[in-house]
């Protein structure tokens, strides 16, 4: 199948979908095989729901001229996205990193949308399927596209950059995430840095946090736009940062009072400011955009339940983000603190060691904090202490905690997505 012809059919459609539950009239449906299903079997259903064309890779499901047969539907989707990106020719901002990708993406989007018609990755559609879907959501009206890229193994960022072909890139940080797939911390650095390689090879621009030694060293010869809270030679110098618990940032005579929790969110804001300045957004508009951003989806949300203040950061967790969240919570001036944390996933052979390190951090720095640790790996590192309560399962935690009446408490709730610790809110 010629991609240019497939693209001409795509342009006749109002949208594209890979899920028959989300079919819209006059759309294109691409049938992608999953681990437990073959979407080719849904081709007839998609047409009955109003889609204009179905793309399949199994000739047994050919219906009529509305059926487009390709060798591999996933490869066709990726090639179509790359073709569409080049057809539009708009500036693409791409970002990756171990922690803070989605929050940073949302902040960049609200800042740039003050001046431009932007479109960004929805949710966390940031993999080999999500990135093509994001690119195919851009239209001729889109002036800047913002693409989040996730990865859990080597060569994934390289592949995604090849499809999206970003003009600007940013790596939030290099942390202990997906250690199992990357093969350790050095593997994470190597894998995420594939974005730097693409940008450097194609003479594109990179946003750099000069306070991060790895970013600073790896981009020293690149065309970069920099920010820093310590180096006054940076393109954007951040004069002050505070968080108790909400982040406040001052730069160039402007102070931003955000709705984001924790010092670990400061650089997410700083990067958005830097992108705003790079694209000529006025400081007053940058301030309005960031101050108007309210986090949701269990990411650094500040929630009040009665007299209790809750920091809900339960969307995901890895050793780096867990340490940052705990250290931030520990330094807050609030009293009567409670920590409820859950297991961190995808750490491979280092999992027990990393969970033990979190227990040790709380043991050494969390004096006076009541700690509830949930999950098999935390339970395997159980210690005897009046301040620590370990539970092998969420159900065990509920049985012990349910019915407890809390007043005037400050709580931090954090764990990997699979732990779904937002369920704890039902107990308060």
pLDDT value of position 179: 64
Query: Residue 289 is encoded by which pair of tokens?
Result: 């955009």
Specify whether the CB–CB gap between 174 and 192 falls below 8 A.
yes
Query: Which domains does the chain carry?
Result: 3-71 (3.40.1390.10), 89-291 (3.40.1190.10), 301-427 (3.90.190.20)
Specify whether the CB–CB gap between 325 and 416 falls below 8 A.
no
pLDDT value of position 153: 75
Q: Which residues pair with 312 in a beta bridge?
A: 301, 413
Report how far residue 389's alpha carbon sits from residue 368's, in angstroms, rounded to the nearest whole number: 14
The pLDDT averaged over each successive group of 10 residues in the chain (428 residues) is: 93 94 93 88 94 96 95 97 98 93 95 98 91 97 97 89 98 75 78 95 97 95 96 96 91 95 91 98 98 84 90 89 90 89 92 95 93 97 95 96 89 94 90
Report how far residue 368's alpha carbon sits from residue 262's, in angstroms, rounded to the nearest whole number: 20
Whether the CA torsion 153, 154, 157, 159 is positive or negative: it is: negative
Residue 251's φ and ψ, nearest 5 degrees, are: -155, 140
Residues recorded for the chain: 428
Specify whether the CB–CB gap between 332 and 364 falls below 8 A.
no
Report how far residue 28's alpha carbon sits from residue 60's, in angstroms, rounded to the nearest whole number: 19
Residue 341's φ and ψ, nearest 5 degrees, are: -125, 150
Identify the H or E element spanning 207. strand 205-209
pTM of the predicted model as reported, rounded to 2 decimal places: 0.86
Specify whether the CB–CB gap between 330 and 366 falls below 8 A.
yes
pLDDT value of position 181: 65
Report how far residue 168's alpha carbon sits from residue 246's, in angstroms, rounded to the nearest whole number: 29
Report how far residue 2's alpha carbon sits from residue 69's, in angstroms, rounded to the nearest whole number: 11
pLDDT value of position 324: 87
């Amino acid at each position: 199948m010629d991609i240019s012809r497939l693209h001409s059919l795509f342009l006749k459609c109002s949208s594209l979908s890979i899920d028959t539950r989300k079919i819209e009239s006059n759309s294109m449906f691409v049938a992608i095989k999953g681990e437990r299903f073959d979407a080719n079997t849904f081709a007839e259903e998609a047409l009955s729901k109003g889609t204009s064309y179905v793309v399949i890779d199994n000739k047994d499901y050919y219906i009529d001229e509305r059926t487009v047969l390709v060798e591999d539907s996933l490869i066709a989707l990726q090639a179509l996205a790359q073709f569409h990106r080049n057809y539009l020719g708009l500036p693409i901002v791409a970002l990756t990193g171990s922690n803070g990708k989605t929050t940073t993406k949302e902040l960049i989007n609200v800042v740039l949308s003050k001046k431009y018609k932007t479109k960004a990755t929805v949710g966390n559609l940031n993999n080999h399927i999500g990135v093509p879907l994001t690119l195919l959501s851009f239209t001729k009206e889109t002036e800047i596209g913002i693409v989040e890229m996730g990865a859990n193994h080597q060569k994934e960022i390289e592949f995604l950059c090849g499809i999206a072909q970003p003009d600007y890139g940013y790596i939030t940080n290099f942390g202990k995430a997906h250690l199992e797939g990357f093969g350790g911390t050095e593997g994470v650095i190597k894998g995420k840095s594939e974005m730097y390689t693409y940008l450097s090879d194609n003479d594109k621009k990179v946003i750099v946090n000069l306070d991060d030694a790895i970013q600073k060293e790896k981009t020293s010869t690149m065309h970069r736009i920099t920010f820093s809270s310590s180096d006054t030679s940076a393109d954007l110098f951040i004069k002050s940062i505070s968080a108790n618990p909400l982040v406040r940032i001052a730069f160039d005579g402007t102070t931003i009072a955000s709705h984001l929790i924790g010092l670990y969110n400061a650089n997410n804001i700083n990067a958005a400011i830097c992108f705003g300045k790079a694209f000529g957004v006025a400081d007053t508009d940058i301030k309005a955009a960031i101050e108007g951003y309210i986090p949701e989806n269990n990411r650094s949300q500040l929630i009040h339940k009665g007299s209790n203040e809750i920091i809900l950061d339960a969307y995901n967790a890895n050793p780096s983000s867990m340490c940052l969240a705990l250290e931030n919570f520990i330094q807050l001036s609030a009293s009567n603190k409670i920590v409820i944390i859950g297991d961190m996933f995808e750490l491979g052979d280092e999992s027990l060691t990393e969970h033990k390190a979190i227990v040790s951090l709380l043991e050494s720095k969390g004096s006076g904090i009541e700690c509830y640790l949930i999950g098999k790996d935390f339970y395997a590192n159980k210690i005897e202490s009046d301040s620590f309560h370990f539970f092998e399962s969420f159900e065990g935690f509920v049985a012990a905690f349910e019915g407890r009446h809390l007043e005037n408490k400050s709580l931090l709730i954090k764990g990997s997505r699979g732990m779904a610790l937002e369920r704890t809110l039902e107990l308060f």
